[in-house]
Amino acid sequence: MNGWKNYETWCVSLWILNFDFYNNLAKRAKNYSQFLMLLGAKAQGENPDGVLWADVGLDIQALDKLIEEIA
């Protein structure tokens, strides 16, 4: 999982980093929570690989740092 805490965090980070739609949302967000707000209703669902955007196992601190680096 390339240094990520778990599969779920790694998978979410890949979608944010590699797909323009999610990357552009991340550029507008201050943290992962705000990214989810910008994602809107989709935040209640799964990413295209079937991982919940709001999965309880996500390493939110690592995703916050990722979003901070993207902005």
- Would 2 be classed as within a structural domain? no
pLDDT, position 71:
82
- Would 35 be classed as within a structural domain? yes
Residue span of the structural domain in which 57 resides: 7-70
Mean pLDDT of the chain: 96
- Would 12 be classed as within a structural domain? yes
Q: Angle formed by the axes of helices 60-70 and 20-28, to 10°?
A: 90
- Would 18 be classed as within a structural domain? yes
How far is the C-alpha of 6 from the C-alpha of 22, rounded, in Å?
A: 20
The pTM of this model reads: 0.94
- Would 21 be classed as within a structural domain? yes
Number of other residues whose CB lies within 10 A of the CB of residue 3:
8
| Nearest partner of 63 among 43, 48, 45, judged by Cα | 43
- Written as six digits, the tokens of 21 are 């739609």
Structure confidence by residue, pLDDT tens digits, 7-37: 999 999 999 999 999 999 999 999 999 999 9
pLDDT, position 56:
96
Give me the number of domains the chain comprises: 1
- Would 66 be classed as within a structural domain? yes
